[in-house]
Amino acid sequence: MAEEISFTGGSKSCCVCFIDIVDSTRITTVEIAHPQKIKRYYSVFINTMAALVRDFDATVIKNTGDSVIYYFPKTTDFSSMSAFKSVFECGLTMISVNPIINAKLHIEEGLPNLSYRISADYGRVEVARSLTSTSEDLFGPTVSLCAKINSKAEPNGMVVGNNLYQVTKNTFDNDYHFNKIGEYSIDNSGNQYSVYSVVSKDVNSNEKKLKLYKNIL
């Protein structure tokens, strides 16, 4: 019997990210009634985020309509920390362009605004391929934790897990504010996983990103 997925036997450590629309179930069942409008609402979100993911040399693993999971292949190599900076810059750019997305939704499409949360973490992943796709899929606790800690982020905010924080804090302490905002309970034995919010120390960062992308997205 053919297997739906096949683990290639490979594993690697890299940065995984998760972006999720806030309150999408209520919005698409209460505020948007027409099926075509719902499709447009999701397509604007997914296509915009996928374009930004590619712009920062990352790869989309999968999307589920109201969320996108992606990773940064170059973060397997510690010889260049620029790939790790791309993780932060990609997420913070997604936050910065929120007004552009909402202008497109509200003014051009007559749809309600959307907000989203972004989470990122670093760790080991197991690589698999599906019979129905030529792209890689990733499994393991790093992927699961990244999805779980997403709820710790503020709407239109970004959080990172402790693993990513530990491997980047010394390198990027001058670039970003990292603030421990809580812990995620891993099991019933009291094991906790620290979660940090991240914002740019460049006070003009948001304005620069808006200016860069307002005529592109």
- CATH number, domain with residue 111: 3.30.70.1230
pLDDT at 130: 63
pLDDT, tens only, 49-90: 999 999 999 999 888 879 999 999 999 988 779 999 999 999
Q: What is the mean pLDDT of residues 156-181?
A: 96
Where residue 160 falls among pLDDT bands split at 50, 70, 90?
very high
β-pairing verdict for 136-139 and 116-130:
antiparallel
Q: What is the mean pLDDT of residues 107-131?
A: 87
* Inside any domain, residue 105: yes
Cα–Cα nearest to 114, from 209, 24, 213:
24
Query: What is the span of the domain harbouring residue 73?
Result: 5-209
Cα–Cα nearest to 58, from 10, 118, 104:
118
pTM passes above 0.85: yes
* Inside any domain, residue 85: yes
* Inside any domain, residue 214: no
* Inside any domain, residue 116: yes
Given a cut of 60, whether residue 120 has pLDDT beyond it is yes
Q: To 5 degrees, how large is the angle CA 197–CA 45–CA 50?
A: 80
* Inside any domain, residue 164: yes
